Amino acid sequence: MGKTKNNKFKRPSFSPDGLSSTPVKQTADESEDEDSPAAELLDKLQSPSADVREYACASISRVVQQSQTIPGFLQRDAVRKIGPLLLDRSLAVRETAAGALRNLSACGGPEVCEDMVRQDALTPLSALLRECCTGFDVSSSPTVKGQKHMVEDVANEAVNLLWNLCESSSTAVSVLNKTGLLDVLLHCLQRHPQNMELAISAAHCLHTVTEENAELVRSVNAAVFGVLENILFSTHSSMEYTLLRSLAAGSLWNLKSGRSSAQQSQTLTALATTLSHSLSLDAGELIPELWRAGSACLSKETTSAAESDHTDERPAGHEAEEMEDVRDEKMSGGKPNGQMSKTKNDISDLLPRDRLELREAKALLSAQQTSLEIIVNMCCSDEPSDDEWEGMSSSDESEMCADGMSDTNSGLFSPLCLSAELHTILLNHNIPQQVLKKAEFPSAAALELCSKDLTWKYLLKKMQRVQCRALTCLHNMLSSMDTESLGGASGLQAVAQHLSSLVFSSALKDEEFLEAVTSALRSLLKIMATKNIPQCMTPHQLMSFCEAATSCELVSVRVNALAILGITGSSLAKEKNTADTLQLIGNALLNIAMKDSNLVVCGEALDALFDVFADGDEAEKAGKNINLLSSLKALQPGFRAKLRKEGKGKYSPDQLCVLDNIRINLKRFISYSENLCLFLTSFEFH
């Protein structure tokens, strides 16, 4: 199975607020709960008092953060009752109504978002956004200025609601395409000199809706590119502007097919410049600096508050940190179709407006995460090359192959190489080396400071996510760039040492991290093997790693670990005095091939065995010592039977195609081994 497809970031249904997007199941017990606050709060929405309506919306916004309460609201037609309040005569009601629907969409997950679209939530939302844009252009008298600020706050909630819906619903994206909401997003985006928070929300939404949206690409014009390029070429040095430029770069990358070849070349250079600047910022130094500046300001505020006998019971931003933790716990695992996802995690609106340093730190990490995700997609091809298709099928005997090849749990082929132009542009902007540095992040100093401060603690996982994205980016670059671009043999060995240290470090080992680091290590060791570059792990480390990784619940991590065993074993088989290590590898692979409940994992173990024991005196000796042939013959009937019994119901057509090739290869390997034994026996007899 030993092909790997590069990861591509998709946007899942994640909340910018840090709230769970776990689908909500409605149950009779929950919806009929007499203690549910839903009925009372929904009744208050009809009050003639704007203050009561505002209170009800704000309360709903808070209550639905507890996902178990959502069915009670849905059963009582909450979306249709809150929707009209988006156009309430009170701006405060509009803002809280948009906030309530925003949290409902974020906490309810994709099913709730689809339901909101079906209930026509986009009609009042679209009207609200257009009215807000008209309100941006009112006069600048003091009274109107305050109203304008409120209008922008309403717009920010509305844009975030639109972002949530488009994140989860293709229907919402289609409505956006047809109703001209792109112009609304651009209008909000252009408010960055007056309201950066609104502009960043609009940039996030635009980055989402432009991805794989051919209909939108066909409708964009020079004015759209002009707005994005004006942001890209801005010279403001704040971290929030760095984030805004990174998001604009992502939208331009998504829309690049709407430009001529000459314009695309200019765009690629501008994108690389933006991404390089974002990644060149040393978060390991900047975050401690921002923390110290923020602490100094807080100290002054505390002294002033003490003098006026005023204290806060709870540190500002603590709620944001808790919500960020909730999101990270529930949203950083494996993704559908073996693809890593871009986590939508903008919670800056929850941070105190006057805590500038914390906002800047968060914006810096978000900018670097976004930049790495764009580079990942730059280094990713959606289709395999002709050579890869040919190498995919072992035999015409395969009866179960489908037309496509994209494993749900593990990638199965490499991408096309980067175009020469893009390859050169990335090298000229030092992108590979910057990615390598981010793979070494986060810094100990930044981790220590943030871990001790409740208001900064939620940044810990954001720092770890930047590292995960860098590792995924490294995986893609290893598959699509030449060895010299990454420092040659010595550079690859240094990277291998670093990745090995990450595997055996005491750092947090969540599934996202394990998938990223094992994918990168797999690609790296494969390249080193083809270049005959000595590898870095000792036999003891290798087996310890395999034991730990193969016990992971995430299938892609287990598959990567087995592939690493196969790559290392096939290299060792070419060396002398390696039979003992090959025996350890062979026994580990046989054990997994016979016992793992997932056929994809069993298939990868068998494929690794074929690679390790294909040829060589050391492999032959080790194979005899572990009774490889008899073991494979014993497991063959069970593998075939399990494939017939579980295959079509449990695995995708693409997986079945690969598994069928494994079945064929197993048959061939056994036949080859039997013939080899007969030949050797005959040779010894004579």
Question: Quick one: which of 550, 664, 669, 565 has its CA closest to 601?
Answer: 550
**What is the percentage of the chain residues whose pLDDT exceeds 70?**
78
What is the topology classification, in CATH, of domain 37-137+149-251? Leucine-rich Repeat Variant (1.25.10)
| pLDDT value at residue 578 | 92
**What is the domain partition of the chain in residue ranges?**
37-137+149-251
What residues contact 224, with CB distance under 8 A and at least 6 apart? 182, 186, 255
Answer with the residue of higher pLDDT: 5 or 15.
Answer: 5
Pick from 78, 50, 47: nearest CA to 64 = 78
Q: Are 109 and 168 in contact (CB under 8 A)?
A: yes
CA atoms of 269 and 151, how far apart (whole Å): 37
DSSP H helices in 404-486: 420-428, 431-440, 444-452, 459-480
User: What confidence category does residue 145 fall into, taking pLDDT thresholds of 50, 70 and 90?
Assistant: low
Identify the band that residue 67 occupies on the pLDDT scale cut at 50, 70 and 90: confident
Q: Is 322 helix (H, G, I), strand (E, B) or coil?
A: helix
**Nearest C-alpha neighbor of 220 from the set 283, 274, 177:** 177
What does each C-alpha distance from 321 to 121, 284, 404, 598 come to in angstroms? 30, 20, 42, 37
**SS3 (DSSP) at 79:** helix
pLDDT at residue 345 is higher than 50: no
More confident residue, 342 or 269: 269
- Does the pLDDT value for residue 662 go beyond 70? yes
C-beta of residue 86 within 8 angstroms of C-beta of residue 128: yes
**Pick from 110-114, 330-334, 476-480, 511-515: least confident:** 330-334
Structure confidence at residue 401 as a pLDDT band (50, 70, 90): very low
Give the pLDDT confidence of 521-574 residue by residue, as tens digits.
Answer: 999 999 999 888 888 778 888 888 888 888 888 899 999 999 999 999 999 999
> What pLDDT shows up at residue 553?
87
Model confidence pLDDT, tens digit, residues 83-117: 999 999 999 999 999 999 999 999 999 999 999 99
Spatial distance between the Cα atoms of 560 and 591, rounded to a whole number of angstroms? 16
In the predicted model, is pLDDT for residue 2 greater than 70?
no
Least confident of 229-238, 305-314, 602-611, 673-682: 305-314
- What span, in angstroms and rounded, lies between the C-alpha atoms of 211 and 229? 18
Radius of gyration of the chain (CA): 28
Please write the tens of the pLDDT for every residue from 167-216: 999 999 999 999 989 999 999 999 999 999 999 999 999 999 999 999 99
Written as six digits, the tokens of 197 are 């928070």
* C-alpha–C-alpha distance, residues 561 and 540, integer Å: 14
The answer, as to whether pTM is greater than 0.75, is yes
Give me the long-range contacts of 222-225 (CB less than 8 A, separation at least 24).
Answer: 223/186, 224/182, 224/186, 224/255, 225/252, 225/255, 225/258, 225/259
What tokens appear for 460 in the block?
């810990």
Per-residue pLDDT for 406 more than 50? no
Residue 613 tokens read as 């024991």
